[in-house]
Amino acid sequence: MTPFILIAEDEDSVVELLRYNLDREGYEIGIARDGEEALVMMRERAPDLLLLDWMLPKVTGIEVCRQVRSRTETRNLPIIMLTARTEEADRIRGLDTGADDYITKPFSTTELMARIRAVLRRIRPGLADDVLRCGGVEINRGAHTVLRNGKELHLGPTEFRLLDYLMQRPGRVFSREQLLDAVWGADVYVEARTVDVHIGRLRKALNKYSDVDLIRTVRSAGYSLVPPKEEGPIV
């Protein structure tokens, strides 16, 4: 299950940065531009994690935090506060109000992503699991191993990252550009054809012990991992 993260933030640049990085990590995202909207959105659908700006219009982050904690449905919702304030007293106040963690702006996205994974792992162990399964394939990020129908496969580092990314959203078609951004990084110049080469290697490795091709090539669109229900009998 893909974790759903609600971003409550009013600064456009921060929203874009978060949207880009969370999407890249495979999370589902909701965006609220003020505290009131965040509360309304959470009543419609409880997120798995709330990224909450301290200084929000209409209803402040602190007040949102209080209300989230006072409602039974969201009492245990993990909250990471985003704050421009650096004073220790404010941090403690944020944590007192019920935030699970806080991060000070400007923040490093690598650090924020690590905190998000840590919070999800602590509170909902299944959500940020080190092991992803799809059909007969199991990828273990911690041990860096891939199994298909119980047999270990040997993938190169790029093929491993490609598979990890595709497995976060089985069935979704990714363009070569999206895969380049996610697997090689947005600031690295690599030809789109490189993706085809690595997809070819990944496909060969994945299908070594099986006749069922798990990678679907979508003409002029890109690639996707065939979701389990379309996979057919496991051989």
Q: Which residues bind Ca ion (CB under 5 A)?
A: 10, 53, 55
CA distance 121 to 161: 20
- The H-assigned helical ranges of the chain are 12-24, 35-44, 61-70, 88-97, 109-123, 157-168, 176-179, 192-206, 228-231
Q: Give 227's DSSP letter.
A: P
**CB-nearer residue toward Ca ion: 65 or 153:** 65
Q: To the nearest whole angstrom, how small is the minimum distance from the Cβ of residue 14 to Ca ion? A: 8
Tokens of 111: 């650090």
**CB-nearer residue toward Ca ion: 6 or 183:** 6
| Apex 32 CA angle, 26 and 126, nearest 5 | 35
CA distance 107 to 8: 16
| Apex 173 CA angle, 172 and 176, nearest 5 | 140
Q: To the nearest whole angstrom, how small is the minimum distance from the Cβ of residue 191 to Ca ion? A: 40
Q: To the nearest whole angstrom, how small is the minimum distance from the Cβ of residue 5 to Ca ion? A: 17
**CB-nearer residue toward Ca ion: 66 or 216:** 66
**CB-nearer residue toward Ca ion: 64 or 153:** 64
**CB-nearer residue toward Ca ion: 32 or 128:** 32
Q: To the nearest whole angstrom, how small is the minimum distance from the Cβ of residue 9 to Ca ion? A: 6
Q: Give 3's DSSP letter.
A: P
Q: To the nearest whole angstrom, how small is the minimum distance from the Cβ of residue 85 to Ca ion? A: 11
